[in-house]
């Protein structure tokens, strides 16, 4: 039986989603838990390879279990076998060909900034603290320009291996609630560290470290060295994956 899992996790203690030698990862913790629960070695495939320190509210994974597996009991077992910063929220039977990465139509991320006040202890490890005031109208204007298909070659990690750098952004907005700035973005797919570089670059424009016209010009292609900084991983969260 093929199973689709929705997983929530706090990424602080993990070296990202993907299995890595001698490093704690979300994928490794889940594979160990499923293997123990069903009694056979199981591969868990994720919809996105979140970086070290990045969180998830709605990561999606797929794996195979014996046909007679009770999914309600399996969910309880997995939540007992995984660390407390991982929660298996939902399990559902899907078709045998389900691929959580290739079948995804859209992914949504959220980035959180504590702005123009001292750091927030309650959001420690889940936000980026930027003290100078960020003008909402400015970053909102930059975010709106991201919508549609663009070449995001300048807004990715320097070691990104993707064959194409064109992505289509469906939703891109900044909102402010007092001292909390939140950026939401949805796209068909993302390049490695794309959201973090976009956020860091927009903040750099707001702080006068990067010219607005230069930022906009990079949406038609460019080199990573021409964009702004990479925002810290702890402010980023994978919100959902749509199929």
- Catalytic residues, which ones? 51
β-strand partners of 164: none
Q: Where are the beta strands (DSSP E) in the chain?
A: 2-9, 45-46, 55-64, 86-94, 106-115, 128-130, 148-151, 166-177, 180-187, 236-242
Q: Which residue has the tokens 């077992």?
A: 77
Residue 231 to residue 107: CA distance in whole angstroms: 19
Q: Which residue has the tokens 């939401």?
A: 184
Can you say whether the dihedral through the CA atoms of 58, 63, 67, 73 is positive or negative?
A: negative
156: nearest Cα among 238, 222, 234: 222
In this structure, are strands 86-94 and 2-9 parallel, antiparallel, or unpaired?
antiparallel
Residue 233 to residue 35: CA distance in whole angstroms: 30
Residue 57 to residue 95: CA distance in whole angstroms: 24
């Amino acid at each position: 039986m093929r199973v689709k899992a929705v997983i929530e996790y706090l990424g602080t203690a993990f070296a990202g989603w993907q299995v890595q030698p001698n490093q704690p990862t979300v994928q490794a913790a889940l594979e160990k838990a499923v293997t123990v629960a069903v009694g056979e070695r199981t591969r868990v495939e994720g919809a996105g390879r979140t970086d070290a320190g990045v969180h998830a509210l709605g990561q999606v994974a797929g794996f195979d279990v014996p046909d007679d597996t009770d999914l309600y009991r399996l969910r309880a077992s997995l939540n007992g076998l995984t660390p407390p910063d991982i929660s298996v929220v939902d399990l559902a039977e899907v078709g045998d060909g389900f691929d959580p990465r290739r079948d995804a139509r859209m992914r949504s991320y959220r980035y959180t900034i504590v702005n123009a006040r001292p750091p927030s202890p309650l959001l420690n490890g889940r936000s980026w603290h930027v003290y100078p005031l960020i003008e909402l109208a400015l970053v909102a204007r930059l975010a709106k320009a991201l919508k549609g298909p663009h070449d995001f070659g300048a807004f990715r990690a320097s070691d990104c291996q993707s064959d194409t750098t064109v992505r289509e952004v469906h939703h891109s907005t900044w909102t402010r609630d007092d001292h909390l700035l939140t950026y939401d973005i949805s796209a068909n797919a993302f390049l490695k560290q794309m959201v973090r570089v976009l956020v860091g670059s927009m903040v750099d424009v707001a702080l006068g470290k990067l010219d607005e016209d230069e930022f906009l010009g990079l949406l038609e292609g460019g080199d990573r060295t021409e964009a702004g900084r990479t925002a810290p991983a702890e402010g980023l969260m994978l919100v959902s994956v749509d199929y």
